[in-house]
Structure 1
Amino acid sequence: PLPEKARLIGYSPKKIREIIPKSEEEKVKNGWEDYLKALKEFQDGKKYPSASKLFREFHKKYPESKYLDHALYLKAEADYRSTFNELNPIFDQALASYKLAMREFPKSKFYDHALLKVASIFDEIGYSLEARALYNQGLKSKAKSLYNEVRKDNLAAMLMKEGRLEKAFDAFQAILRKSPNNIEAKAGIFEIANKFFEKKDFPRALKIFEAGASRWPGELNEKPEINFSMAEIYFSNKQYARARKHYFKLLNLDPASKNGHKALNRIGDSYMVEGKYQHALSVFDESGKKKGIKLDDEGKPARDKEGSLIREDSAETQYGKIRMADIGVRSPRLKIRDIVFDVEHYYKPFKTFDKIFVEARNVDILAEVTLSRGIAYLLEQNYLKAIDEFKKLLPLGPESQFFQEADRYIRQALIALVDKYAKQGGNLPILYAYSDFISLPIGDINNAQTLLQVGEAYQSIGMFVEAVKFYEKVKVLDSHKTYRDRVFLNLGHIHLENKGYDEAVLVGRNFIRNYPRSKRIPDAMKLLANALKGEGDFSGALKTYEDLLARFEGKAEIHFLIAETYTDMNQLADAVQSYQRAIATYDRQERVIPEYLQKAYYHLGSSLFKLNRFGPAMEALKSAKELFPDNLLRDWADYLLIESLEKLGDPAKITEGLNRLVKTENADDLTRQAAESRVKIREWEKQLKEG
């Protein structure tokens, strides 16, 4: 049977025959076919430029079409989408198209969407005021708009881009209170935390990260890099266990992460800082074996002839090897299994440093290995080499972490070096080292002990004005008055050297009164005695020495000083007794024989000679020569021996001794001249006797 024809209820066949032609006419009049053609181009998803062209032609051809509002809004959308995919989009055409559509058809159902798009374009090109105004206009004009949540997200994102992070955070929080599952707001919260992290505002960054991680724990799994940022903050806060937890989480979730190798090294660093060198060595060994992909000249992965990727040591690989060498320097006695570890970097740290210094992948690694090598020298107490290494880092500038580390270690090395020289009596090396330091772009040193030692070095070579300048600096820095007595005594010695005996006496007496428990009381009493001698008060000096003899050890030196005072008083018999006491009370177990003891032997002989006790004088002088043959007084002793022989009547030995003394290469000029004169006199006397 024939199919039954459909009928429109309420319309007669005649009426229907009248409607159909009218409908066709209306389609032609409104450009339905042209509209449909443009719409299909738009819906294709890849033909936005041609769709825009067709909609533009439609507008010109059918200015009164009932489809014109759709056509104009769709043209604007086509212009936007074709531009959006460009590398550097320019939205001028899209913006003009949206404005035209909105102006011509403000009542269109597409107006709200177009308003959002225009606002987003202004937002994209940095017109913040216009964008914010249009976002807010949309929120106010249509409270239940489907696009209002996007507007709120974008307004919060604008605050974030403008650096108003706290207000952006509050805005995202407000969105989340109404829409807890808002993806953009959730992402915005973590992005704000990351912004604080990039600004080194770690406290606020960590607060937001921790709150976000607690609220959306799955976010750390979906975005593993958040773990790295949190770990870095914990590491900077010295919360190493927490830092390791997040570093490990990053490595487990995303082993190929761009920060993965750095995270591995950070784990090693955390163990190293905690002194867990065995754990650190294990981590750095893994890091040192982890190769990076080599890049060609164009920055693309390099491949071998078989097409396989070529791998080489990366900067992070070299970092791991440097740290293995560091551990070798700091803890060289770990139990290492050669089968497990690449032990060369551990056992031969300087070889590792030298190799990486030549092959460093970047400036940071070059600086890192230089710093490590300097620290290694410092730990070996090779301070000059350490300072030379650290000086190489100073051109990096004060903002560089390596400059700051070098500054700190140079100061540390200088303090140790100056102290070492001071204990050895190396005054000129102290001044050379300090002069080199002060030429560096790191300012002066603020260590009171070092400045004091530099001042004492200047004082030892007679540069008293410079010494006093340093003592003034010490007074300012020495808040605990640790060196106050030492500085005061040094100033007294300067007065003494400048023959300011009254001032020196005053310093000595005030020191004894003000610093009764100081270990430098003996030195103060010696200063006082010397100052009294300078004033001519020999009895006062002797009384001071006698008091010193009764109160302190080191009696041999005190007896020597008493003997010298008696010599100055020309009381030679008393001087002889005191020299003999100095020699008798000296502790023979001391390794280094002091200068005063050598002088005691020689001065004893010369004092006996002056007393015409030639036999004992000869014995004393012979002992002095045998014990201290290199002393500068030896030649004078030879001369006195010859004189003593003459007094005792032994002409042959006298002539032989004088001739030997004249020919001695290292004899001082005065002694040689005296000997030459005696030889000539003896020859003259001999000639007279022979007629």
Structure 2
Amino acid sequence: MRQQLPAMMPEPSELVRGALPDPGPRLERIPESPEWGEFERGVALYNQGQYLEARLHLTNMLREHREIPLRSSIQAFLTESSLKSSAQELRPLEIIDQYKALIREDPQSTNARRAAWRIGDVYRVEGWYQEAQIAYQHALSLSERDSYDANRAMLGLGYVFRGIKSWKDSVQTFDHVLKRTTDPTLLVSASLGQAHSLYRMGRIKDADGLYESISSRWPGALRADPFALLRYADTAGEAHRGPVMREQLLHFYNLYPSRPENPFVLMHLADSYKEAGRWEDASIFYAALLSQYPDAQVVPTAKLRYAEVQEHLAPEGEEVNLRHTIAAHLANVPLKPGEMLSPRQLFESSAKQYEDSPVGSEALFHLGEALERAGKREDALKAYEQVVQRAGKFENDPWPEKGGAQLVRFLRPRLEAALKADDDFELINLFHRNGPFADRLYAGTELLLKVAEAHRRLGFPIESARLFQSLIRDSKAEAFHEVALMGLGDSYLEQKDMRAARAVFERYRLQFPVGRFAGQALIGILTSFEGEGNTSGLVKLGKQWLIHNPRHPDRALVQLKVADALRQAKRDAEAAPLYESVLKAGMDLSALDRLRYADVLARLNRQEAALALYKQALVAGLEPEQEAWAQFQIVQLARGVKREEFARSGLRALNENSDSLVRRMAAVLQTELPEPTSAAGGKK
């Protein structure tokens, strides 16, 4: 029932341009006046609602007695009679001119002060808010502070602010009236106006408190305002005060039977009773809606929910005799006497009939429930999955997410089994069967963390990053934030988004300075520096960390990162000791790292050590291009240390390379090697 009202949507005219409290023209009693009796007859006609007669009588009095003490009172009653007689020949501006004439002729009279804010009323009723605002402000300037006239002008000004959608100004203006007046009629109007403005501002809790106060102090005034009843029901519903909400909706339904909102009111009443488990009451209101408003927009939905309620009222069998329920109220369900109609059939037919609206989603959801009650779990699972697949198809359709929540009951045991079996593919497949709301359905659980990690392992870093982010944003999942941050950083690394990865790892180090993944977070930062080509940043941070962590278990990993950055910067003299320290620490270098270390030693002219490392890298297994480079380096270094056989062995490997360019370069090197000398005793 929640009314999503944009701030700039105007208020209904009856809430802004309606009549405000007005005791009427004032009798400035001069009983000794000879015209008093004649004047009283005109007032009597006015009070009896005979405005046209009163107008004629008072007009004649003014014509016959131009200079009398009662003139301002006669003029006030005449103007009001003209306004209320709905005389077609009198326009609003002519009424305003009469009020202005009254003010000019006798500015000190009490009727003149009243006429000032009545001018504002006429402008406001016509929807001329700018002119009304000026008139009310002028009336304030003519009135004594805290007088009835001042407060009445302020009240009108508050309603003008509501008319121009200045909700905050209207709330403040009404608050001024409420603090300064004791008049009950002004208090009621100001309270209602302020409550409506608070509602439009979205201050639902404040509006609810004010509506509640009005209901207890002036229940008649609240019930005289249909919008106040609806809005009080809404705010009470938001505050989870079901009985109060239902009471206001019942008042509305009973007091305003012709209002167009009644089908929705009955629907909301029935839904409220259904949610409270009061099936009999829900059934009564669904039936009333279906019978009284058969063409209403909400009828298809009401039909589904009515069938659902009947299942709760008659649980003994799958089929219910809906001849005495739905068929009694719907002409489009043709059943013969005694004929049975399964609620399941109704859900199935409605799902097809309303496939292109949210009603179809709800029908599928209730079909799943009906199948589940019948013990057909697999069919129910399929129905819920169909609901989930409709996600995003219609705006404000809550049923796909509700269907996903039902799927959790079916799929969670299977997810846990897949997790236990280390079956990442099955785990991800089952997870996404929950639909696009899956991360919300498993929010705050370790299972969601495991699913995110499975996505990363299977090469879906974008989806894994999204899931890790949902865990990090969830305050209820605080126990998993540390692991999720590391997972998010690794996901960004796999996406080659080095800047984002570095930001995440730096956040980890700030949030968990002594966390169990502190070393890995540092490696992540160094890796992101490396990916960005920021070798100076990598070296600076790495060296600082090594100085302050002489015995950290991840020290060798950091040394390796720093050594490689120094190698890229051609600072070989600094890189070589770090590589040596890594080997001394017992770390098993990869083939590529051995190749890089060998390059450093080769540039430092440490040929024997470089040769040994190139040979180790070849044995460990290099990529084809890296392998060719290592063989060339072996040939060059072997020549330098006079190990021709070693060089020839490298050349033979190069001559067998599949790349023709490598073979041609090997042939050139072949010519630079001296011919092997003949064995001893071979000389002729």
Please say whether Structure 1 and Structure 2 have the same fold, judged by a TM-score greater than 0.5.
no
Normalising by structure 2, we get a TM-score of 0.44
Normalising by structure 1, we get a TM-score of 0.44
Q: Is the radius of gyration larger for structure 1 or structure 2? A: 1
Higher relative contact order (CA 8 A, sep 6+): 2
